[in-house]
Amino acid sequence: MKRILAAALAALLMGAGAQAQTKVKIGVLSDMSSLYSDIGGAGSVAAAKLAIADFTAGNKDVQVDLVSADHQNKPDVGSSIANQWFDVDNVDLIVDVPNSGVALAVSEIARQKNKVFVVSGAAASDLTGPKCNANTIHWTYDTWMLANGTGKALVKTGGDTWFFLTSDYAFGHALERDTAAAVEASGGKVLGKVRHPLNTNDFSSFLLQAQSSKAKIIGLANAGGDTINSIKQGAEFGITKGGQKFAGLLVFASDVVALGLPTAQGLTLTETWYWDANDGNRAWTKRWQEERSGKFPTMVQAGVYSGVTHYLKAAAALKSVADGKATVAKMKEMPTDDALFGKGTIRADGRKIHDAYLYEVKTPAESKHPGDIYTLRATIPAAEAFRPLKEGSCPLVSG
Amino acid sequence: MFEVLGIPSQALFGQLLIGLINGSFYALLSLGLAVIFGMLNIINFTHGAQYMLGAFTAFFLLQYGGLGYWWALILAPVLVGISGIVIERLFLRWLYKLDHLYGLLLTFGLALIIEGTFRNFFGSSGLPYSVPSELTGGRDLGFMFLPNYRAWVVLFSLAVCLTTWFIIERTKLGSYLRAATENPALVRAFGINVPRMITLTYGFGVALAALAGVMAAPIYNVSPQMGANLIIVVFAVVVIGGMGSIMGAIVTGFGLGVIEGLTKVFFPEASNTVIFIIMAIVLLIRPAGLFGRRA
């Protein structure tokens, strides 16, 4: 089942069609109906629309079409949509794609068809590591950055013994491996781990094991509903009251809102964008909420805005996006600058570089208004936030 | 202090208790399914969605009505039970004479519609719901920390399960119900309104699902797909216990909770599959289930 909706925006701009020279078609491929749909989903489509509206307001000679579809977290479904978009529907750019499995598949298709892929939703750092290519840019965050940000910072503040609750598939293993490495490199120790199946309802058994390990930090190498259930039940079993602390290795603002502050308070996590961080972000959030009322944007959705904006800048400069590789090369050559992520760069391996932030979830008493959830604990400068270029074993760099 | 297969006894007792607690959810849910299947011959695939409705109703009552957990425990099953009665009157009653498959497809379709609608309005990441203040905290049992709320869950669901079993198997009302499934025409001849009894039975089964939903709200993530994740396991429990067997559903529910809990200690990776392995073995040896009547 494929849902494609053409943006009315493009139709509005058709009036100025006489002067439109550069035509661009963008596809938002996301999880529209399942566990990641609040992280990306319709909110990513709304973000892409804002990016297009903002850009075309000042660049009437670029005409942009927008489509979107649901990949259902299945690599085969995602691949067939990507093939259809590139081959039949003349889509030039695919954005978002939460779920690393789907993203790796789409990245390969973009390379084969010489189109462009800007990843905002997926986490796997392999996208700019062994699986990197000249058509893919990894925009918002990745597993290495999450592991490094949260892992290092917690060891520095005394959290030097760790126990992992790990989701038992490739993503969880990677996150656990990267975090354990970061912890040990900063002088910490890993006391144990337990691997649970994806979509586990009850974590009490695993929490008891974590509790009896006496580790100071319980690292959650899982995502979405699994993370929410771990933390919710951890509060019930008195984990945080007993002096142990949770480290959310992949927690989004939408998860914290779902948990509620009484349960989530004190949780440490790393993000690259927070809606309430400054006036610019707040103003953008207000516009975004016109379409997504009552919700708060995640860094993934902000990344879609930022990525689409930069792509359109490159398109305007090149006047054509027919050659995906050339477009990506242009994107890497131009410094990035937008309202949400500020100034940044894109590395040779396709990694977008910007600051990351270590946040702690506020207590209910500290929170002044809805969505006021984080206190900034540390800023990780762009140069340190992501995996060093040489360590990724990306063929584009070594070869 | 002794050890079993390298696991200290303390941890083992803890896991046994936790298994029992999880088993109480399986028991409550499979009980509702067994009642509905036993009396109506309908395989109620909407059960997971109705469990989810129970949890959401608890959230709505708190958010918009200011009514806390204890009110929800009474009101949510009633409200969701009424919605079940509407479903039975509008759709299910046309299906009793047809093959099981039609009921299964209809209820499965309804579940997809209900869950899809909720996802559309409330997203997928869920809503917060706290443990009622009377039951926060917990006690140290020596071998584990037992949250008060979990103790409440296990006791309350055991009471509900046994009461239900007693009503259906040991009272006059229950005997009418059982007779009505065997031979509706004859029971009607005695002046008993069989269709109404069937309608109320479905409403009751649905109310049990909603009750489990309310009890789950403070400890599991309240999200539109919370039931979809659980329903498959619960169906396996019902199949192992024997379709339609009330006591079978209760005993298997608690028993499998314990087995699953132990798997989480010895081989956590298999904890999601162990129930299905048992189901396969039971189906091979006793196709009608452990407590099935048509063995």
Which own/partner pairs from A48-51 qualify as long-range (CB within 8 Å, at least 24 positions apart)? Answer: A48/A95, A48/A304, A48/A305, A48/A308, A49/A7, A49/A9, A49/A291, A50/A284, A50/A287, A50/A288, A50/A305, A51/A304, A51/A305, A51/A306, A51/A308, A51/A309, A51/A312
- Which of A115-127 are b and which e, b meaning 16 or more Cβ less than 10 Å from the residue's Cβ? bbbbbbbbbbbbb
pLDDT of B189 strictly over 70 = yes
User: Which among A37, A201, A209 has the least Cβ separation from residue B229?
Assistant: A201
Helix (H) or strand (E) holding A13: helix A8-13
Domain match, A233 and A377 both? yes
The verdict on a CB contact (< 8 Å) between B22 and A204 is yes
What interface predicted TM-score (ipTM) does this complex get? 0.80
Check whether B180 has a pLDDT greater than 90. Answer: no
Contact status of A204 with chain B (Cβ, < 8 Å): yes
Residue A7 has pLDDT above 90, yes or no: no
Structural domain that includes position A152? 144-271+355-385
Under 8 Å CB pairs connecting chains A and B tally to: 117
Q: Do B119 and A224 touch (CB under 8 A)?
A: no
Strands A342-346 and A336-338: antiparallel
Q: How confident is the model at residue A20 (pLDDT cuts 50, 70, 90)?
A: low
- The two structure tokens encoding residue B119: 């996802």
Which comes out higher in pLDDT, residue B30 or A19? B30
User: Would you call A202 an interface residue with chain B, using a CB distance cutoff of 8 Å?
Assistant: yes
Residues A231 and A260 in one domain: yes
Residue A197 at interface with chain B, using a CB cutoff of 8 Å: yes
Structure tokens at A45: 């489509």
Looking at the predicted structure, is the pLDDT value of residue A73 above 60? yes
Q: Is the distance from CB of A311 to CB of A56 less than 8 angstroms?
A: no
A134 and A281 in one domain? yes
- B1 in any annotated domain: no
In a domain, A395, yes or no: no
Same domain, A309 and A160: no
Query: Is B38 contained in some domain?
Result: yes
Question: Is residue A122 situated within a structural domain?
Answer: yes
Asked whether the CA dihedral B55, B57, B60, B66 is positive or negative, the reply is negative
CA-nearest residue to A253 within chain B is B125
Q: A72 and A132: one domain?
A: yes
Choosing among A232, A295, A300, which should be mutated to test the B contact, i.e. which has the most B CBs within 10 A?
Answer: A232
Cα radius of gyration rounded to whole Å, chain A: 21
Q: Are residues A371 and A346 in the same domain?
A: no
Domain region containing B221: 18-129+144-285
Whether residues B220 and A229 touch (CB distance < 8 A) is answered with yes
Query: Is pLDDT above 50 for A322?
Result: yes
Mean pLDDT of A334-361: 95
Which of A297-311, B113-127, B221-235, B250-264 reaches the highest mean pLDDT? A297-311
What is residue B104's three-state secondary structure? helix
Is B293 a member of any domain? no
* Residue A33 burial (CB count, 10 A): 22
For residue B1, pLDDT over 60 is answered with no
Confidence of residue B283 (pLDDT cuts 50, 70, 90): very high
- Boundary of a domain, candidates A313, A335, A353: A353
Distance between first and last Cα of chain A: 41
**Residue A200 touches chain B, beta carbons under 8 Å:** yes
* B7 located within any domain: no
Contact residues on chain B for A176, CB-CB shorter than 8 A: none
- A390 in a structural domain: no
pLDDT of residue B272: 83
Using CB atoms, pick whichever of B22, B125, B221 lies closest to residue A254.
B125
At A137, list the tokens.
Answer: 């840019």
Decide if B3 is inside a domain: no
Judging contacts by C-beta atoms under 8 Å, the chain A residues touching residue B115 are none
| Count of domains observed in chain A | 2
Rg, Å, chain B Cα set:
19
Q: State whether A46 and A137 are in the same domain.
A: yes
Indicate whether A16 and A113 sit together in one domain: yes
**Does residue A261 lie in a domain region?**
yes
Q: Collapsing DSSP states into helix, strand and coil, what is residue A302?
A: helix
Identify whether residues A210 and A180 lie together within a single domain: yes
pLDDT value of residue A316: 94
Residue A45: give its domain's CATH number: 3.40.50.2300
**How far, in Å, CA of B219 to CA of B136, rounded?**
11
Task: Tell me: do A195 and A262 sit in the same domain.
Answer: yes
CATH number at residue B42: 1.10.3470
Which residue of chain A is at minimal alpha-carbon distance from B135?
Answer: A236
Q: Does B268 touch chain A (CB under 8 A)?
A: yes
Q: Do A263 and B130 touch (CB under 8 A)?
A: yes
**Are A296 and A201 contained in the same domain?**
no
User: For residue B271, is it within any domain?
Assistant: yes
Looking at the complex, report in whole angstroms how far the Cα of residue B51 sits from the nearest Cα belonging to chain A: 14
Residues A328 and A373 in one domain: no
CA distance B74 to B197: 21
**Interface test mutation site (partner A, options B25, B52, B124, max chain A beta carbons within 10 A):** B124
Contact A381/B at CB under 8 A: no
The conformation of residue B222, written as its DSSP 8-state character, comes to B
pLDDT of A12 reads: 43
Q: What's the domain count of chain B?
A: 1
Residue B228 resides in a domain: yes
**Residue of A205, A224, A229 lying closest to B15 (CB–CB):** A205
| Chain B residue at shortest CA distance from A194 | B268
Residue A343 counted as domain residue: yes
CA distances from A363 to A158, A375, B200 (A): 21, 10, 46
Residues in chain B: 295
The answer to whether residues A66 and A6 touch, using CB atoms and an 8 Å cutoff, is yes
B138–chain A Cβ distance below 8 A for any pair: yes
**Beta strands in chain A, from DSSP E residues, in sequence order:** 22-30, 62-70, 93-96, 116-119, 136-138, 161-167, 189-196, 217-221, 245-248, 268-271, 336-338, 342-346, 352-353, 356-361, 374-380
Please write the tens of the pLDDT for every residue from A233-255: 998 888 888 889 999 999 999 99
Q: Is residue B11 part of a domain?
A: no
